[in-house]
Amino acid sequence: MEPEPVKETARVAANLEAVREKIEVAAKAADRSVDAVTLVAISKSQSMGRIQSALDAGQRIFGENRVQEAQAHWTDLRGGYPDLELHFVGHLQSNKVAEAVALFDVIQSVDRPKLARALAKEIERTARKVRIFVQVNIGEEPQKGGIAPGDAEAFIEACREEFGLEVEGVMCIPPADEEPSPYFALLAGIAQRAGLANLSMGMSSDYEIAVGLGATHVRVGTAIFGERLPPGGV
């Protein structure tokens, strides 16, 4: 019988290749270059074995939504992959800002003045280059983080002018079980009016649609790794 780690490595590698192929097809259909789309592999709640399988398959851009879990995943691995790029995609508490700035290259979930101010201070203190996306609560859902769409442009301007952050994009999570296209189009309009080139939108269930509507970053987890592990899983 084939050892389980070999099966796992092959499965993750095959999934990665399938996702990349679908991104390429969607980009070509929209008359876009596939190079304009960055695949962020969402490794939250995944085992170290699955993460290593993705690394072995050439993936270098990963996303996490909890600082402590990301530290467990990446603190030791990071030194072995100088081209690794880590994105924070979850709700960032202000008391975790120093740890987040130390570990992550991109923070995609800036959504309130208190957080923007804390990030600006920590980035200035450490002189570390961290790329910033503003998260928009595109469906105005009370259970989700993000700035309201109607407030997004003013908040982006405040991030730039008041806090001195170099905002380079916007991010959203559309409502589940709804057609995502109108929400992706709404985010694209906000980005265009704010002069932002980067759109982080699209996850495992809808990344092909997002690519067709201009996504520059897609955040794909289960389509690559399989279902997330329960707490304490390995």
CATH number of the CATH domain containing 175: 3.20.20.10
Helix (H) or strand (E) holding 15, with range, is helix 4-29
d(CA 210, CA 33): 14
pTM of the model: 0.93
**Percent of the chain predicted with pLDDT > 70:** 94
Are 226 and 233 in contact, with CB atoms under 8 Å apart? no
Instruction: Tell me, yes or no, whether 231 lies in a domain.
Output: no
Instruction: Tell me, yes or no, whether 144 lies in a domain.
Output: yes
Are 37 and 212 in contact, with CB atoms under 8 Å apart? no
Q: Which domain holds residue 129?
A: 4-225
Instruction: Tell me, yes or no, whether 131 lies in a domain.
Output: yes
**Count of residues for the chain?**
234
Instruction: Tell me, yes or no, whether 83 lies in a domain.
Output: yes
Instruction: Tell me, yes or no, whether 84 lies in a domain.
Output: yes
Give residue 157's identity as a one-letter amino acid code.
Answer: E
Instruction: Identify the residue whose tokens are 């995502």.
Output: 180
Name the domain count of the chain.
1
- How many angstroms separate the Cα of 62 from the Cα of each of 43, 59, 87, 202? 6, 8, 6, 15
- Residue 1's pLDDT band (cuts 50, 70, 90): very low
Instruction: Tell me, yes or no, whether 232 lies in a domain.
Output: no
pLDDT tens profile 136-162: 999 999 999 999 999 999 999 999 999
Determine the distance from the C-alpha atom of residue 199 to the mean position of all C-alpha atoms in its chain, rounded to a whole number. Answer: 10
CB atoms within 10 A of CB 6: 10
Instruction: Tell me, yes or no, whether 124 lies in a domain.
Output: yes
More confident residue, 230 or 168: 168
pLDDT at position 234 over 60: no
